[in-house]
């Protein structure tokens, strides 16, 4: 039997409004980055073939995260 390497993608759901928090939870500071930045960094470092980030509410606010990452 031939072994075929599995291609696995990760999906990060970050489309919520964080209405109960009163601020955009994904952009809250976490160490030297944000919560979303940390999650994306860990996903990229995990060996997944592809990382998909689903954005919704205020997606334009997230632009600064991607400029600081090597994707």
Residue written as tokens 């030297």? 32
pTM for the full model?
Answer: 0.75
- Domain range list for the chain: 9-67
Helix (H, G, I), strand (E, B) or coil at 54: strand
Question: For position 1, what pLDDT does the model report?
Answer: 61
> Per-block average pLDDT, block size 10, for the chain (71 residues)?
76 84 82 89 90 82 65 53
From the number of C-beta atoms within 10 Å of its C-beta (0-12, 13-18, 19+), residue 18 rates as: middle
Q: How far apart, in whole angstroms, are the C-alpha atoms of residue 7 and residue 22? A: 38
Question: For position 61, what pLDDT does the model report?
Answer: 74
Q: How far apart, in whole angstroms, are the C-alpha atoms of residue 62 and residue 26? A: 9
Q: How far apart, in whole angstroms, are the C-alpha atoms of residue 14 and residue 21? A: 14
């Amino acid at each position: 039997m031939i072994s075929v390497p599995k291609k696995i993608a990760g999906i990060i759901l970050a489309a919520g409004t964080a209405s109960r928090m009163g601020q955009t939870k994904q952009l809250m500071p976490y160490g030297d980055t944000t919560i979303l930045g940390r999650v994306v960094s860990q996903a990229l470092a995990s060996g997944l073939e592809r990382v998909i980030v689903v954005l919704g509410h205020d997606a334009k606010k997230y632009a600064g995260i991607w400029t600081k990452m090597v994707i």
